[in-house]
Amino acid sequence: MEVAIGVLIFVIALFAVITLVRSVRIVPQQRHDVVERLGKYKRTLSPGLNLLVPFIDTVRTKVDMRENVV
């Protein structure tokens, strides 16, 4: 019985860590990330620390904003 409780606590802690990692995004300078919620455009993430809704929001495209010499 004690082993089952230990495994259950481990699974809950692992799920909490995965959820936290998926919800925090750090966007570097000179880049913008496009966020989709369930397949539709939701917003554009600016550089810095950003929060997402885990398992619902996804970063679809990473746009480089640096100037290109043509």
Residue 46 has pLDDT above 90, yes or no: yes
Three-class HEC string of 2-61: HHHHHHHHHHHHHHHHHHHHHHEEEECCCEEEEEEECCEEEEEECCEEEECCCCCEEEEE
Predicted local confidence at residue 43, as pLDDT? 94
Predicted local confidence at residue 70, as pLDDT? 87
Residue 59 has pLDDT above 90, yes or no: yes
Terminal Cα distance for the chain, rounded: 68
What is the rounded average pLDDT for all residues in the chain?
Answer: 93
Percent of the chain with pLDDT over 70: 100
Give this prediction's pTM: 0.73
